[in-house]
Amino acid sequence: MDRIAEVLFANEHFYQAFGTGDYQTMESLWAKGVPVTCIHPGHGPLMQRKEIMKSWKLILQGESASGLQCKGEEVMIHGDLAWVICYESLQGGYLIATNLFIQQNGEWKIMHHQAGPTSGRPSENEEISGEIN
């Protein structure tokens, strides 16, 4: 599997865990031993892994996000860092999201997630992905 496909695979697992309320998988997807941050829509930044995991536990125990879909993924990679900019589709509306990944022990792990309102919409046919040298 090429590096872009690996990042997309990790991103897909994040949204699967989110959509199914799977806290164990969500916890396993987040990086350890490096700074991590998370900004949920309408909230301030969380800057400690323990805070972030607590927030996800509360979110995933709440109302199901079973209709959540990730669309229009754009992937960029630079060394051991990768980021995905995408749209989160839920109940007919969209948020714009950024997911930053770091490679740890051969796996891409999330070190930052931020989602917020947008007036944009994903393009069904356009995909932008690449590695920066």
Indicate the pLDDT class of residue 132, thresholds 50, 70 and 90: low
> What residue spans define the domains of the chain?
3-119
CATH number of 3-119: 3.10.450.50
Average pLDDT for 114-119? 92
* CA–CA distance, 55 with 61 (Å, rounded to integer): 10
Confidence check: pLDDT of 109 > 50 = yes
Q: Which residue has the tokens 């930044």?
A: 45
* CA–CA distance, 99 with 97 (Å, rounded to integer): 7
pTM for this structure?
Answer: 0.89
| pLDDT for the residue numbered 130 | 56
Beta bridge partners of 115: 97
